[in-house]
Amino acid sequence: MEYIHWYPGHIAKAERKLKELLNLVDVVVEVRDARIPSSSAYPDIKRLIGEKPRLIILNKSDLTDSDLTKKWAQKISKETSCQVIMTCASAQNDLKKITDKASALAQEKIAKLVQKGLLPRPARVMIVGMPNVGKSSIINKLIKRTKTKTGAKAGVTRTQQ
Ligand SMILES: Nc1nc2c(ncn2[C@@H]2O[C@H](COP(=O)(O)OP(=O)(O)O)[C@@H](O)[C@H]2O)c(=O)[nH]1
Ligand SMILES: [Mg+2]
């Protein structure tokens, strides 16, 4: 029997790039569309990121029934053993939830670096997800907030895929 493999070159290339960049970050934030929480999951993300801590975001939750989305969040959390939060990219509070959770997930690794004698540093986070789930909206808003609040560099790594 013959199988047809559909695996376009640009996706293979993006995945190689993703693996390279993965070495530089402490945490992966996977963004999904709350309206299609299952089908907007990044396929095979576990294989790509291995044991790296992952936070899952159900974005655009302003467009969904919140009880139903909460149920999805619980189900996904159970299946993946990851924390799952509901967000709306334009809500400042929700962005704070993302940075707080991501920093908390990075603490274990940063604590290890400190034990080795390095200075503590901000968490390094990669945001991944399928097209149109709201990655750019979240990143832009985070960067603006960080800039206006502290004048420091944004603690996010941007990747394209
Ligand atoms: N209602 C709503 N729209 C959103 C939200 N986040 C992003 N969008 C919209 O969804 C579209 C795609 O967002 P974008 O950030 O470009 O997604 P990306 O492809 O993952 O970078 C844009 O029209 C955004 O304005 C959200 O939380 N709620
Ligand atoms: Mg984008």
Domain positions in the chain: 24-157
Task: Give 89's DSSP letter.
Answer: T
Mutate-to-test residue for ligand 1 from 137, 139, 142, 159, highest number of ligand atoms within 8 A of CB = 137
Q: Tell me, what's the pLDDT at 134?
A: 96
24-157: which CATH number, 3.50.50.60, 1.10.10.10, 3.20.20.70, 3.40.50.300?
A: 3.40.50.300
Q: Tell me, what's the pLDDT at 147?
A: 56
161 CB near ligand 1 (under 6 Å): no
Average pLDDT over residues 51-65: 97
Average pLDDT over residues 40-58: 92
Say whether pLDDT at 96 is over 80. yes
Indicate the average pLDDT of the chain: 87
Say whether pLDDT at 57 is over 50. yes
Q: Tell me, what's the pLDDT at 131?
A: 92
Q: Tell me, what's the pLDDT at 56?
A: 98
Q: Tell me, what's the pLDDT at 150?
A: 46
Measure CA 38 to chain center. 15
CA distance linking residue 139 with residue 145, whole number of Å: 10
- For tokens 């801590």, what's the residue? 53
CA of 29 to the centre of ligand 2 (A): 14
Q: Tell me, what's the pLDDT at 152?
A: 43
Higher pLDDT, 20 or 102: 102
135 CB near ligand 1 (under 6 Å): yes
CA distance linking residue 43 with residue 82, whole number of Å: 16
Higher pLDDT, 67 or 50: 67
Q: Tell me, what's the pLDDT at 146?
A: 60
Say whether pLDDT at 124 is over 80. yes
Q: Which atom of ligand 1 is nearest to the CA of 94?
A: 27
Q: Tell me, what's the pLDDT at 4?
A: 61
Q: Tell me, what's the pLDDT at 15?
A: 81
CA of 33 to the centre of ligand 2 (A): 13
62 CB near ligand 1 (under 6 Å): yes
